[in-house]
Amino acid sequence: MEIGIVGLPYSGKSTLFATLLNLKDESAAHGKQSAERGIVKVPDERLEKLNALFNPKKKVNATIEFIKVPGLEGDGAKPQGLPAQFMANLKNVDTILVMIRDFENDFYPHPFDRVDPVKDIEFINSEFLLGDLAVVETRVEKLEKLVMKIKDEKDKRELDLMKKLQAQLEQEKPLRELEFTEEEEKMLKGYQFVTAKSLLYVINIAEDKISESSNVEKKYASYIGKNSAVTSLSAEIEKEIAELPAEDAQVFMEDLGIKEPALAKLIRKSYELLGLISFFTVGEDECRAWNIRQGTNAQKAAGVIHSDLEKGFIRAETVHYDDLMAAGGLTGCKDKGLLRLEGKEYTVKDGDILNIRFNV
């Protein structure tokens, strides 16, 4: 699962990317024209507590991939359309993370000579809408000619769909707000429209606004909609926290009135927008969090662990994290009859602990 980090120059996307990847030399994340990738651990307090309970040889977090995508430029006057390489880099991401600048820095001037987060959001959204509209208009023109010549029913249905998308985009509304049938979803699969992807606005604030972060997020609540969310952080402060030893970081956060790094919240929000949940496997050798799509059944979840478990799936011995912790461990769960045997069609819940019984 991939999350693309985009933003105007000097919005803080390189600092965020470097911090997420724990890159000590931030300059390595600056100035590159090609997309950069990195795997990030998903923080999960439940995994930490399972690790303390079972004391395994190894603890493994669930992960997601972040991609820093360069190329979102413009002069701020009007949308000009997105560069082909930028579109290509975004094509396969599942969620887009948009860095929005809300801080002054004379050393790194805003590319449009102003710090106005709302105008930046509107500009970027207009670029995304324009990019999708150009693709849709080209496809509509081609399909109209095909339908006139061949009169193929499949082309007619696709043309109707494209006109539906065109009407939405011309109203300056993103495609993620539309509902699609299963057939329409299949037709759209190859297009990877930018405004159809889930989106997370990250307001990059100055240090003196950290205590007001909840109010900052409320200010941009109007941008929260279907498959879109808003969070805030100070990328520079998050970088400092990440570089400190754990004890010093805790003291530093207490001085700033921070309960946890905002980076952890950002990763969790990204995880949710991807439509992911976590289940766990536990034992003396390893405690591990696995990510799956919401609605995944037990047999498919077993396949995430290993293909042999999916092929030879018999049953999933299951207990929820909350029940396991309340019972004090697996032995307590057995004594209280909390362990269940679930079949292949069981829908795995966030926080389930699974032990797969299989035979290959």
- 333 has pLDDT over 60: yes
C-alpha closest to that of 193 among 271, 237, 134: 134
Residue 75's pLDDT is 56
- Bridge-based pairing of strands 63-68 and 36-41 is antiparallel
- Output 117 or 86, whichever has higher pLDDT: 117
State the Cα–Cα distance between residues 329 and 50, nearest whole angstrom.
9
Q: Please identify, in words, the CATH class of the domain defined by 2-43+63-126+196-273.
A: alpha beta
| pLDDT tens per residue, range 3-38 | 999 999 999 999 999 999 886 555 555 556 678 999
For 262: left if phi > 0, alpha if psi spans -120 to 50, otherwise beta; the answer is: alpha
| pLDDT tens per residue, range 245-277 | 989 989 998 888 888 888 888 988 888 899 999
Bridge partners (DSSP) listed for residue 5: 68, 97
| Burial status of residue 62 (CB atoms within 10 A of its CB: 0-12, 13-18, 19 or more) | buried
Residue 25's pLDDT is 53
Q: How confident is the model at residue 295 (pLDDT cuts 50, 70, 90)?
A: very high
- Output 355 or 78, whichever has higher pLDDT: 355
Residue 53's pLDDT is 96
Q: What are phi and psi of 144, to 5 degrees?
A: -60, -40
Residue boundaries of the structural domains of the chain: 2-43+63-126+196-273, 295-358
User: Which of 227-241, 291-305, 315-329 bottoms out in mean pLDDT, i.e. has the lowest?
Assistant: 227-241
- Output 331 or 70, whichever has higher pLDDT: 331
| pLDDT tens per residue, range 196-213 | 999 999 999 998 888 888
Cα of first residue to Cα of last residue in the chain, in angstroms, is 29
- Output 284 or 75, whichever has higher pLDDT: 284
B/e letters for 153-164, b = 16+ CB within 10 Å, e = fewer, are eebeebbebbee
Residue 6's pLDDT is 94
- Output 200 or 90, whichever has higher pLDDT: 200
- 79 has pLDDT over 70: no
For 335: left if phi > 0, alpha if psi spans -120 to 50, otherwise beta; the answer is: alpha
Contacts of 255 by beta carbon, 8 Å cutoff, 6+ apart = none
- 350 has pLDDT over 90: yes
State the Cα–Cα distance between residues 217 and 230, nearest whole angstrom.
6
Q: Are the C-beta atoms of residues 209 and 234 closer than 8 Å to each other? A: yes
User: Which of 162-166, 250-254, 303-307 bottoms out in mean pLDDT, i.e. has the lowest?
Assistant: 250-254
Residue 80's pLDDT is 62
Residue with tokens 């159809």: 196
Highest mean pLDDT among 71-85, 215-229, 341-355: 341-355
From the CB of residue 30, how many other CB atoms can be counted at a distance below 10 Å?
13
State the Cα–Cα distance between residues 298 and 281, nearest whole angstrom.
13
Task: Tell me what percent of the residues of the chain surpass a pLDDT of 70.
Answer: 94
- Mean pLDDT across 180-192: 90
Residue 78's pLDDT is 61
Residue 308's pLDDT is 96
Residue 317's pLDDT is 97
Domain 295-358 sits in which CATH superfamily? Answer: Beta-grasp domain (3.10.20.30)
Residue 31's pLDDT is 54
